[in-house]
A and B are shown apart, each in its own frame.
Chain A
Amino acid sequence: MSEQKPTGGRTREEMARRLAQDIPDGAYVNLGIGIPELVAKFVPVGREFIYHTENGLLGMGPSPEPGTGDPELINAGKRQVTAIPGAAFFHHADSFAMIRGGHLDLCVLGALQVSQNGDLANWSTGATDAIPAVGGAMDLVAGVKSIYVITQHCTRNGEPKLVELCTFPLTGRGVVHRIYTDLAVIQITPAGFQVLELSPGVDFNQVQERTGAPLSPMADPPGVPKMT
């Protein structure tokens, strides 16, 4: 059903670039596996973010040049990475103390479903033949100050991922603050989904049609991000 996709929607890289614009200077950020990893490619000019990977590194740098990686310097997705000057290594209890203790400013995660009250489902479709695997997702949503989801607005089958109620098993209840999709930037508010911004060439009705719950239109344009 990809032919239904509005022509003006953002690509994955554009989604990542857009999200990066909303990260305040100096933020400590954890990036989930998949589209979230792309965010690291788009640090706005004049800002510096420090990336945390929950397997024990603060100050994660980009992928190593081919042939220079080390199988013992990896990220949470088990891909080889580098460490920036000023990085620190630590064990898992300290790493999750950073997460659970509220020391990280932002976590960017993928999603299977997000409900209008901010419930997130991103670890299991509940299929009985699948092997359940959760990793650090439940710790991240329980502990990090802000949770941003980055995801295609709909599944490959055209089903909405933004829904009234999640039907997949939850990662956490009421944990998502904001959603960046190919079509829009959407805030979770006490009144449900609110559009903060439409992707270029996309109109409100197109987004509403592809969303499983009511959307409120944009109120004020979002300002410059600041550390909360």
Chain B
Amino acid sequence: MIDEGIGMARTLSFSKAINEALAQAMREDETIILLGEDLAGGHGVAHLEGKGAWGGVMGVTKGLVEEFGEERVIDTPISEMGYMGAAVGAAATGMHPVPELMFNDFLGFCLDPLLGQGSKMRYMFGGKASLPLTVRTTHGAGASAAAQHSGTYYGMLAAIPGIKVVVPSTPYTAKGLLLAALKEPNIVVFSEDKTLYSSKGEVPEEQYTLEIGKAEVVQEGADLTIVTIGKMLFVGLEVAEQLKASGISTEVIDLLTVSPWDRETLEASIQKTGRMIIIDEANPHNSVGRDIAAVISDVAFDYLDAPIKVVSAPDTPVPFASNLEKLYIPSAQRVLSEADELIFDLRSAKEA
């Protein structure tokens, strides 16, 4: 349709990039199956025979049932514990299931397959099981979806040994990381910010993988490191842009994998800049942001010119009202005000 040449990057939406990764991997690996609610939709409706009604509640899996059939694009009843556990059982016996948890807020309905079963299975069995399993889910506020459909819980999953957690930020990183996850013999949670689905970016048509566990230095800088997770990349870039006016050179690092996060890249950066701000949309306590701050504050203690700042959501559920929700999500303005001392010092240094 768009460019067809190999190696050619087309402009795709975040959701289409995910869709393409799924389709390409499924063509090559028949063990990959998708399970979830309304991934196709309309199952059993005569006039929709062979066609999905929806292709996912947000349209991400559109067209896949048409190509791969109902045995591989499996619409489930509303039974998260059942199908997530089934995904673990199928993975342990040689499939590569890709269950979709429509909103990560529904984790409370299907945590055991991840916490109690899948993440521990290989360890409990003394290495005698492999779990090729990619859990797709969504997180994030900004869609006026209120407290039960807007949370950011990748940190809760990242706390569990035996689970890798990836948070893409762009169509390009989404496709590359998802293809990598679909080749992993381990549980990877792939958490998509629902407000990014319509965002666009260049994406090569052929398959490529981005290494899980590797952060990307999106913009090099010398004075300050900003580490971002998922959509917060754009907040980080905005802050960097604003600081540029004061002559401050900001290194912006897109974390991409929140477990295991890339200590090497972060350490290298702080050794250069001596200052770090982490932007994480999750609630503050026991967050990935705080985890990084604790570790980097320790291992790079001698390089720190200022305390590491973590900018996050407040310690509250997500409010509905749009004006409150806007205050809830970390913004460039919030970053500048929460890190005001650090920035003031930097500015002063530059002026001096």
* Same complex: no
